[in-house]
Structure 1
Amino acid sequence: MRHQTREAQQAREAKLDALHAKLTESVGTLVSGDDWRRALEFSAKFRSRSFNNTMLIYLQHYEAFQAGRVPSATPTYVAGFRQWQTLGRQVMKGQSGYGILAPVTARFASRTPNNAESWRRLGRGERAQPCETIRTKLVGLRAAYVWDVAQTDGDPIPEPPAPTLLSGQAPLGLWEGLAAQVETHGFTLKQVPDAAAIGGANGITNFSTHEVCVRRDMDEAAQVKTLAHELGHVMLHSPEARTGDNAAARDAALHRGIAEVEAESVALMIGAAHGLDTSAYTIPYVSSWASSVAGSDPVGVIQATAERVRNTAVRVLDQLDTTQVGDGDPPGLDRTTPTRTAPERGARPTVEPQVVAL
């Protein structure tokens, strides 16, 4: 039995090693502005998943396309085997799933949740004590598999409405939604006549005066893209980030190039999620700033930055009441699985909601 357990563990580790190698390969190709733009545009359409898993899905689907197993080079919707079954579809015979990195979680309980040392891990089937708080934490990764809709057949997928834009127009309600978020962060939004009013820039974020300025002599699309860029600065690049615990945030605060790439990338993802044409966006050469972070591997810097960009863009998009493109999940799929804990006699345990992006 012990021998079988060791073999199973080795098999799991081999799968994870293979996925990490594939991930490094895919992220390592992001060495130009166009590569970065395409990766983020794709990530915007699959924003329900982590940047790492987005890249894994993209690469493996393209390999499936080259092998003739799927009709298109770009995936549309992806889900797990049983998730497709809940939507009345089945994975077709001979179709291999795309390996992704799935979280392994465990339950922890504490009577004094503010004390980091007080948390104890609950065993399988173990119940929490009365008045304890239960928290789910990430303890590792495992290999999991998803399939594109092109690899399945069955009931049709209902298509939600997609945003439609004319040249130069901004997505309906996007300016108002972004402006509200800027103000929520404690900044005053001002529209200035032209670039000369703000030193030749399209927009500027001033952390000293807590002002965001955007020039109004551009078309609507350019104005809303600039506002999204400045909101990215507001959320990611405060002076406090220089001394914070997050290494990626410190790097961005200390390296102007990284900060500009992050802000423009947030704007790109927000625009792409609304069908806004991003072909004219100017994104600096990725390898130049990634390589400039002393003591860091460029691939690691790209991954950390991309995940920060994705998380920020998703936070913005989740607060917008606008029509957006899909997020990579099939319409109608409910990915939330509530965790139930049997109550003890007396006071019930408190369960803290936890969300882990795959």
Structure 2
Amino acid sequence: MATPAKPKVVGIDVSKDSLAICHLVEEKVQHLEMENSKAGFQQLVKQCGTESLYVMEATGIYYLQLAYYLYEQGAPVVVVNPVIIKRFIQMHLGKGKSDKKDAQWIRRYGEQTQVAYWQPEEQVIVECRQLEQLTEQFIKQRTMVINSLEALERQPVVSELAVKSLKQTLKMLEKQIKQIQDKLLVTLEKAFAKEIKLLSSIPGIGRKTAGMLLLFAGGFRNITNYRQLIAKAGLSPREFTSGSSIRGKVRITKMGGSLIRSKLFMCSFSAKGSNAACKALYERLVAKGKNGKVALIAVCNKLLKQAFAIVKSSIPYRPDFANISA
């Protein structure tokens, strides 16, 4: 039986206004440049067809409209973390940087690597992510206003109008943050009632953290093992050693997932006392001489491991998870 031919790979370097495209025409490299707009997308499909495999980096939000358009046209799409492409280029000793070169490297990555096809996330996940991002923006603004207010009140001469305006702004921001957070949690609980109930059964994880975890993991739809979840949260250990002379500290990668990482770290304080598996792990590491922060990070990983097992099995937390998920 003949092996099916691999589809032609189209590498795309996406920027805010343009698309740098690289593909092969009769085994010769061809570069194209098109607008990052619907007209440009239509031109791209007309040129390369819907049978080609389109590979692009996850560059902010700029790739999303193109990825959605190609998916709706029935074309296979691959979206790659930019760090992976960067390492692929380094591995092949690539030099120099330009949009054309990047598009060519992205095409080569798609040709030489086993890739997973991209699918758009559920609408509720996309909308909730937008609410979460808006909340974070408002929280940053609130911090700026608080700092401005404190700085103003320490001055020898203070404008009453300036103080009043800042206090009104602060009150408005706090109201907005609460409204959006409440709406976000209600929306998630409606869409993922079963999963939030399961996750909330884990000692150390409350309803809000359960909701954040579901949002972070995309409802656990495309997570196939707990290691993916740990890596996505940036909690994978990164060792820095070489031979017998270099013995750096083991640190976490801190790639992605800063919000869920900070939330899990706060949860770890409770989990190390109330969660049987987390308690056993924390005490074992401390007894071995590990400092408290390292042990708490290990507890964060344990919580993610438990979360994955519980959602995938649909079995609520049990105290004997200390044995099941150790």
**Larger Rg over CA atoms:** 2
Q: Answer 1 or 2: higher relative contact order, Cα 8 Å, separation at least 6.
A: 1
- Category of TM-score, reference length = shorter chain: under 0.3
TM-score in terms of structure 1 length: 0.20
Which of the two has greater helix per residue? 2
